[in-house]
Structure 1
């Protein structure tokens, strides 16, 4: 089997959706015709991740988020200053190709990033409905405390934020990754799908959390677990690495997990 090029792998990644006219998912650095010697998947293409990819002799990094501190490249380049310059120079000197894989996986059916989180939690058997921006599950009845502890253990994360009575028994769960915790999505699911517990990455704190606070005051069965943006989407990129390893068995494929962004005191 011929060694795949950067473009060959990009074409395979976008094939389930087809080319998008407007997307942030473009090749950010590197030569598309370059043969791939190894792949790294990651949530965020940080300086550390890029250096580790080089050390592992992987010349293609597939990242969910952007290189330069903003959703759109131009904004990050405009205000990144010396940090931007040094990172860009590293990429030019290393020859590493970086492809952003954000819009396409969220348009897979079902959403590949949400699927990765559900796979990591081993909840696939409990999915009863996939929405474009969420998945709905019927879990075996458990307390909020039990679910919080289970989620932390399965995702290997030290902290989550949650709302609700820890002893509340729950079964109907909504799962949303990334920045989907706003009221337009989360509160709508609470109301229209009889969701009892919402698990999401992040969202405006003045929207869904305030809805949950009022709902609890009214005696309603509502609970919320906030994982963090990276913590909710990292499993999707890990799952991508597993899929690529199966698709390209002769190619070294690694997933580099992010270090925790914040310290807790």
Structure 2
């Protein structure tokens, strides 16, 4: 029995309450089309879209939008050659693209954070779960050892660290994506008595500067920034595993990208 795009979308949104204001929508394609292959990705880059087309995928589920704006606005890109070429590739491929951002963050627990915890083998370390953060009691390790663990488990070339690399840590806050700003991260140090926060990204002059002042005052606090994609792609990879169980008759592929930044 054929599975339609709409059936897949219904399954993806079912674990969360209905959202009125959301960026999650079918960006291209017909919901009544039968699904021949599903691709899952964090970011629908030019390369990912081409790879999906080459694999015969006709439904791509992406966490972030294709056009460099959270709300997928494109008016400001009219006349831009990069936008035009990417749009042309999407149209030529016949690919249906569904943005799954808000709903997966509303899963219980947050599907993106849960995927990162799983990738790090820290599921047994969870102390409590908040809407925007997960609090962990880790085995006693130094900041440097935790940084090495992150790089190994996530297969990333680097992380950014603020604080004493030799400081020993246990109580840790995990904040994926763009949750590493001061308003989210700073209060957690006091409220949860944290040694360390591991975040995706945030403004460089907020939480990082707070941690630097804390360190210079002799307080045992540290911050590790993973990068936005590095913190959220594991959640989309975990979603691909779920889809394999939900729709076993449909080929499912996780489409990864290389790290965005190069170390020079």
TM-score, length-normalised on structure 2? 0.97
Match of 1:248 in 2: 247
> Which residues of 2 match residues 140-219 of structure 1 at below 5 A?
140-219=139-218
Q: 2:77 pairs with 73, 76, 79, which one?
A: 79
SS at match of 2:87: helix
Moved over 3 A (4+): none
> Which residues of 2 match residues 85-100 of structure 1 at below 5 A?
85-100=84-99
> Which residues of 2 match residues 7-46 of structure 1 at below 5 A?
7-46=6-45
Contact (CA 8 Å) 1:27, 1:99: kept in 2 or not? yes
Structure 1, 248-257 or 77-86: larger mean CA deviation: 77-86
Match of 1:114 in 2: 113
Partner Cα separation in structure 2 for residue 178 and residue 24 of structure 1: 16
| TM-aligned CA deviation for residue 19 of structure 1 | 2.6
| TM-aligned CA deviation for residue 183 of structure 1 | 1.1
Contact (CA 8 Å) 1:68, 1:77: kept in 2 or not? no
Give structure 1 stretches of 5+ with no counterpart: none
Contact (CA 8 Å) 1:14, 1:104: kept in 2 or not? yes
Partner Cα separation in structure 2 for residue 253 and residue 180 of structure 1: 29
SS at match of 1:254: strand
Partner Cα separation in structure 1 for residue 193 and residue 75 of structure 2: 44
Partner Cα separation in structure 1 for residue 163 and residue 17 of structure 2: 42
Contact (CA 8 Å) 1:117, 1:235: kept in 2 or not? yes
Structure 2 residue 231 is the aligned partner of structure 1 residue 232: yes
Residue deviations 1:39-69 (CA, integer Å, cap 9, x gap) = 1100001111011001111100000001111
Residue deviations 1:87-131 (CA, integer Å, cap 9, x gap) = 222222221100000000111111110001000000000001000
| TM-aligned CA deviation for residue 77 of structure 1 | 4.3
| TM-aligned CA deviation for residue 184 of structure 1 | 1.1
SS at match of 1:70: coil
Contact (CA 8 Å) 2:39, 2:61: kept in 1 or not? yes
Contact (CA 8 Å) 2:17, 2:106: kept in 1 or not? no
TM-score, length-normalised on structure 1? 0.97
Match of 2:126 in 1: 127
Task: Quickly say closer, same or farther: Cα 1:117–1:204, change in 2 above 3 A.
Answer: same
Give structure 2 stretches of 5+ with no counterpart: none
